[in-house]
Every structure is written in structure tokens, then in C-alpha cells.
Structure 1
Amino acid sequence: MSRARGPAPTPWATGLTLTALSFVATVITVVACGQVLGRIHPALAVVVNVVTVAGVAPTVWSWLRVQVLRWLAAGFLAGVPFGWLALLVS
């Protein structure tokens, strides 16, 4: 007879590493693109950032239901506001 298994343990170390990498990549991308577009025109940087995040948001939201991808989604969701804040400070 086989025993019923409980849920697998949460891989915290791997998950938090993925979240950190996703966070860093998102912040770097937002800041780099925002600075380049800001040199052309600040309004262009704002519009492109908002449109890009609005376009990516549904995909990232769907990732929250997938066990591995939810870690990446958490890094992205935390990285966008920090990237915008870094753009305002720079």
C-alpha cells in the first residue's frame, strides 16, 4: 500500500533567490530604459513606462498561480515601484 503524501515543502532558498534576481533585473531594466527615454523627453519616459507595465501586468498576474513563476512575479511586482523610485531620485 502506498501512503498519501502531504504537500511538498516550500523551496524558500531557491524561491527567494529567484525573487531577488527578478527584482534586480526589473529595477535595472526600468531605470535604464527610463533614463534613456528621459534624455529624449521626460513625458515619453513616463508614458512608455506606464504602458509597458500595463501591458506586462496581465501576464505577471497569471504567473501568481504557477508554483515556480510566482517567485519571479513577486520580484517583478516589487521591482517596478523601486525602479520608478530610483528614476525619480536619479
Structure 2
Amino acid sequence: MELGDRQPGDAPLPEELQDAVREWSALALLTARSGGPTEKALVRRRGLQLAGRVADVLGRPVEFTDPSTGEIESVRVGGPAPRLAAHPPGPTPWATGLTISAFFAIVVTIADVALSRAFAEAFGLLWVPANLLVGLGLSPSLYLLRRVPFWRWPAIGTAVGLVAAWVVLLLGLLG
């Protein structure tokens, strides 16, 4: 994407857009020389975003040249702009995450069983609907947390702990 590629009748680009393209060009040059694959992908996405903005201002498609591969692609007016991730995803910390999940599963299981048994001593089988309400009340929050990088692990552990507590409580009714 070059700012000098203008045609007669093109609208003037806003100053902030010109500055953003110049800044991106300098970064793209550095990244093409010494950047890793993640950095190159981010620079490419940002370049496509800027190309989309330039196409919108000019009212016509513009050509975008990927700085790392040299591939040329046409970016049309009003085309979907790729979203730029706040932080590129890193490797999944399975050992740490599963340890956190196990901790939460144990704590939630013990707490739920203890509270349900205390509730059962005081109110009989009313612990069943009370425990259902706890599980149903937590489920939307646990479902939403499943994609949040750190909080997915406590959410998984909590869900497993609630299921384990139900198993323990139902087995306690049989015994």
C-alpha cells in the first residue's frame, strides 16, 4: 500500500490516516527484515485495516502489498476489515491450568457437599432444589468464562466440582 498511488479525482486522505500509513510502513519494513511469524501476521492485518480505510476514503478499491511475502491483493470499498487481536494467543499452559482446575474442583466439591449436607439435616430433601439453583445460577458465568485465558481454568474446576458433588451426594443417598 503506497500513498503515492493516487488517481485524478481521488479525495484527499485525512492527515491522521496518512500518518498511520507512514507509521505502518516503517514498522512493516523493520518487521519484514527481522520479525517473527506472529509479528508479520499482525503487521499484515494492520496493513489490511489501513488499506480498507484508504479504500473507503477514496471510494474505490486499492491494492495492498504484503510486506513480508510481496503478495498483492485488492482491498475493496466497504470490505470487511480484519480485527486486530489485543494480544496474540500464546501456548496453552496445560500443567498450570489443570492444577488450578483440580484445586477449584476439590474446593467446590467439599464446599457443596458440606453445605448440602447441612441443608439436608435442617430441611430434609430441600437440599436438592437448593443445589439445583446453585448449579443453574453459576452455569451462565461459567459458560462465559470458558474463553477467558486465565479464568477458564477456575471455571472448568468449578463445573467439575459441582458435578462431583452431585455424584457424592447422590451416592450418599443410596448408602
TM-score by length of 1: 0.88
Off by >3 Å, runs of 4+ in structure 1: none
**Which has a greater percent of strand?**
2
1:86 aligns with 2:119: no
Q: Quote the RMSD (CA, aligned, Å).
A: 1.5
**Which has a greater percent of helix?**
1
1:30 aligns with 2:63: no
CA radius of gyration, larger in: 2
Which ranges of structure 2 fall in alignment gaps of 5 or more residues? Answer: 1-30, 39-87
Comparing 78-87 with 15-24, greater Cα deviation is found at 78-87
Q: More relative contact order in 1 or in 2 (CA 8 Å, sep 6+)?
A: 1
Counterpart Cα distance in 1 of 2:147 and 2:171? 34
Residue aligned with 1:41, SS:
helix
* Number of residue-to-residue matches in the alignment: 90
Match of 2:132 in 1: 50
Structure 1 residue 4: Cα displacement = 3.1
1:18 aligns with 2:51: no
1:70 aligns with 2:152: yes
Identity among equivalent positions (%) equals: 32
